[in-house]
Amino acid sequence: LQQSARNQKAMEKFDISSDQSRKRPQNEKQDEPGPKRAKSKSDVKKNVKIKDMNKFKVEYALLTANPTEQSAVRKLIGVENYADEDKGMYTCEEDSILKGKVKLRSIDSSLSISTLVDAFQVKKKNLIHVRCADIGSGGPGGSLMTTIQILAWAKKYEWPLKMIFCVGCCGCPEKCKVDLGSVILSCEIKDYNRGQMIQDRHTNVENQPIHYHQNNEWFARLQEKKNTGESNEAITVKKASTTYSGDFVIKSAKKASQMAAGNDSKPVMVEMEGKGIAEALEVAKKLQILPETNNFIVVKGVSDRCTSSDKNQDAPCRFFTETLKNVSPEKRQHMATIQSATLVLRAI
């Protein structure tokens, strides 16, 4: 046995496997490959990489504008993490409807779409979160051109795109008596930038807005999902009589009061991206160069009162069933966006 062991060690010093003259005896069995091991749960990556957008058939798109809105949605779905314990922390895994149903899908960096888009699934439905490069509707990075880009992708990749949701934060005049943090569903959009400049004692803009109508079929579904059955997850939801949308940031108590006048005590929403989406869809329909759809809706949470004092004011803000005190303007935008996006994902 000792001699055999010594012989074995001596043979190991030479690479006899490279000797091509060595032939396998006929009676020597070859090693047969064993059965393939089934992938365990630990082997399956949660964040599956998309290398071909033709195979990821997008049904719904979420659009956000400013960096606070974009970060809030990314934290909600798990693309980004919260840095520390803070007001307004909430993720899909904490929501009784969404828990375990949201899965991220990373986009291969070789695809140009990856710099603008987060891909994910909600209960096997494919979604994208599209981040505008700029606030407002105009300009190369505004909501108009971003929506045209979404429609171009839908045509190129043959997506069955059903709906575009504009989520984030908005203003609501004090006169409407709607709590900060409440989510408002838009019905009719008015472009408040259109009109004429008139001068009497003071220079004023007399508005002559264009009206855009949205998809009303989703109102009932969104209203249904404001409650989950859990007492601490309820979202305050209001339906707007009118949504004023344009490229100007409204920071005038007088202007805000004028917007709220004559609306039968129903809330009005003041925001900047809705009209760009509406215009993009109108252009696509008239020119017949992109998929025809008017399926969009603006769903935003109230973060300010459209006054100049909003910037420096730490005000109470409703966050689900809680009312948090002394919340900064940026944090109010975050909390408003979290609630509007949560409502949309629940409905989807």
Predicted local confidence at residue 32, as pLDDT: 44
Predicted local confidence at residue 29, as pLDDT: 45
Separation CA 320–CA 318 (nearest Å): 6
Predicted local confidence at residue 132, as pLDDT: 96
Query: What is the C-alpha R_g of the chain?
Result: 28
Whether residue 17 is predicted with pLDDT greater than 50 in this model: the reply is: no
**pLDDT single digits (tens) 80-123:** 999 876 767 899 999 999 999 999 999 998 998 988 899 999 99
Q: Which of 80, 54, 63 is CA-nearest to residue 298?
A: 63
Tell me which amino acid residue 248 is. F
Predicted local confidence at residue 53, as pLDDT: 93
Query: What integer is the mean pLDDT of 299-325?
Result: 87
pLDDT band at 263; cut points 50, 70, 90: low
Residue-averaged pLDDT of the chain:
82
Q: Where are the alpha helices (DSSP H) in the chain?
A: 2-12, 67-77, 143-157, 218-224, 253-260, 274-287, 329-347
Predicted local confidence at residue 36, as pLDDT: 40
Cβ proximity of 237 and 344 under 8 Å: no
**pLDDT single digits (tens) 134-156:** 999 988 999 999 999 999 999 89
Sign of CA dihedral 271, 328, 167, 339: negative
Separation CA 103–CA 117 (nearest Å): 15
Percent share of the chain, pLDDT over 70? 78
Predicted local confidence at residue 57, as pLDDT: 95
Query: What integer is the mean pLDDT of 165-185?
Result: 94
Cβ proximity of 256 and 343 under 8 Å: no
Predicted local confidence at residue 293, as pLDDT: 56
Tell me which amino acid residue 137 is. S
Whether residue 276 is predicted with pLDDT greater than 50 in this model: the reply is: yes
- Tokens 């409703």 map to which residue? 318
Predicted local confidence at residue 46, as pLDDT: 56
Predicted local confidence at residue 227, as pLDDT: 94
**pLDDT single digits (tens) 327-339:** 999 999 999 999 9
- Tokens 């045509």 map to which residue? 155
pLDDT band at 78; cut points 50, 70, 90: very high
Percent share of the chain, pLDDT over 90? 53
Query: What integer is the mean pLDDT of 212-227?
Result: 87
Cβ proximity of 330 and 313 under 8 Å: no
Phi and psi at residue 64, in whole multiples of 5°?
Answer: -130, 160
Residue 318 CA, chain-centre distance (Å), reads 21
Separation CA 185–CA 218 (nearest Å): 10
Q: Is 196 exposed, middle or buried (0-12, 13-18, 19+ CB in 10 A)?
A: exposed
**pLDDT single digits (tens) 43-60:** 333 578 999 999 999 999
